[in-house]
Amino acid sequence: MASNYELPDEVNDTRSKSVEKKVEMKTFISNVGLEELTIESDRQGEELLIKIVCVGGFTGGVGTKGVFIDDYLEVWPPVQTYRSPLIGVKFYLKTIRWQQSDAQKPISIKLQLWEIAEQERFSNMVKIYFRDCLGALVFWGTQRPSTLNEAVLWRENVKEFCPYAPCVLVTDNVGKEPVKWIGDGETFDSEIAFDQFCEEHGFVDHFEIKARDWESGEKSVFGRAVTRLLVEIFKNQ
């Protein structure tokens, strides 16, 4: 991945116009901090639209974060094990029923998942991609430990453009067999050290994916990471 990647200006102009039209679709939030929001279910039964970005460096596992997203969407038959790196951005939609507590009625949420290509961190399009983002899943891979540093940089991007959006760190440990990355001489000496790392860099939680799972949906590791984000998004409402 080129460390100084930048799209030509003429390409940016064309892509900006195209993406801006998509980003300005109906949402329940527009350029407002989370502390100013009051999230309510629509009286007419309309769905809330919540945008979550999936970012991070090339993890070396399944090839692209979109494989995990397709598994979460329970796409059948399952997509191929390895998928070539993405160029640009790809959109996914999933409708779920969300209940904040037993005392409240469930509401319908349409999740808009944006898979953003690794090299887009160096593009001036990233601000547009992050517009109206309410949460982020930030990936790194045990097969490429250097992606942990990239995850921190992506976290800074989220903080810059979406200061109130919570971030969850996701570890891609998918391969022929899981890689040991916690212990003496490993990436982290202990679970405590990893927890401290997440806290220092502003990740509200972390999840490790060790195998493909295209049957569990919301109960999958990816699904639980999304749920954790939703809990944090609605936390102060």
Task: Give the predicted TM-score (pTM) of the model.
Answer: 0.79
- What is the per-residue pLDDT across 197-226, written as a single tens digit (0 to 9) for each? 999 999 999 999 999 888 888 899 999 999
User: For the chain, which residues make up each domain, given as ranges?
Assistant: 48-236
Q: Which contiguous run of DSSP H or E holds residue 54?
A: strand 48-56
**Looking at residue 87, what is its pLDDT?**
81
| pLDDT by residue, tens only, the chain of 237 residues | 333 333 444 434 444 444 444 443 333 332 333 333 334 444 345 679 999 999 998 887 666 788 899 899 988 776 666 666 778 899 999 999 888 777 878 889 999 999 998 888 888 888 899 999 999 999 999 989 999 999 999 999 999 999 999 999 999 999 888 899 999 999 999 999 999 999 999 999 999 999 988 888 889 999 999 999 999 999 866
Question: 222 near 170, Cβ under 8 Å?
Answer: yes
Topology of 48-236 in CATH? Rossmann fold (3.40.50)
In whole angstroms, give the CA distance from residue 41 to residue 68: 29
In whole angstroms, give the CA distance from residue 9 to residue 190: 46
Question: 117 near 87, Cβ under 8 Å?
Answer: yes
Question: 165 near 33, Cβ under 8 Å?
Answer: no
**Looking at residue 194, what is its pLDDT?**
97
**Looking at residue 140, what is its pLDDT?**
95
Q: Which two tokens stand for residue 13?
A: 């102009």
**Looking at residue 232, what is its pLDDT?**
95
